[in-house]
Amino acid sequence: MLRPRKKYTVRDLQLLKGKRCLTHIHVKSPEEAAAAEAAGVDLMSCSFDSPEAQARLPLLVAAAPNSFLSCATPHGLASPEEAIRVAFRALEIGASSVYCSASPFIIEAMARERIPVVGHLGMVPRHVTWTNYRAIGKTEAEAVQLFRDMKTLESAGAYAAELECVPHNLARFLSEQTKMLLMSLGSGPGCDTQFLFSDDILGDYDERLPRHAKAYRNFLEEHRRLQRERIAAFGEYIADVKAGRFPAATHLVEMDDAVLHKAIAAIGKTSG
Contact 27, 198 (CB under 8 A): yes
- Residue 54 sits at φ, ψ, to 5 deg, of -65, -35
Q: Catalytic one among 108, 164, 221, 254?
A: 164
Residue 13: phi and psi, rounded to 5, are: -65, -40
Q: Which helix (H) or strand (E) holds 246?
A: none
d(CA 99, CA 70): 7
Check: CB of residue 118 under 8 Å from CB of residue 130. Answer: no
Based on the residue annotation, tell me whether 32 is a catalytic residue of this protein: no
Residue 234: Cβ-neighbour burial (10 angstroms; 0-12, 13-18, 19+): exposed
Cα–Cα separations (whole angstroms), residue 126 to 28, 42, 75, 120, 161? 19, 26, 7, 10, 15
Cα separation, 88 vs 29, in Å, equals: 22
> Is the CB of residue 204 less than 8 Å from the CB of residue 224?
no
How far out from the chain centre does Cα 26 lie?
3
Q: How far apart are the C-alpha atoms of 57 and 90, rounded to whole Å?
A: 8
- Distance between CA atoms of residues 164 and 188, nearest Å: 10
Angle at the Cα of 63 from the Cα atoms of 90 and 88, rounded to 5 degrees: 10
Active-site residue set: 164
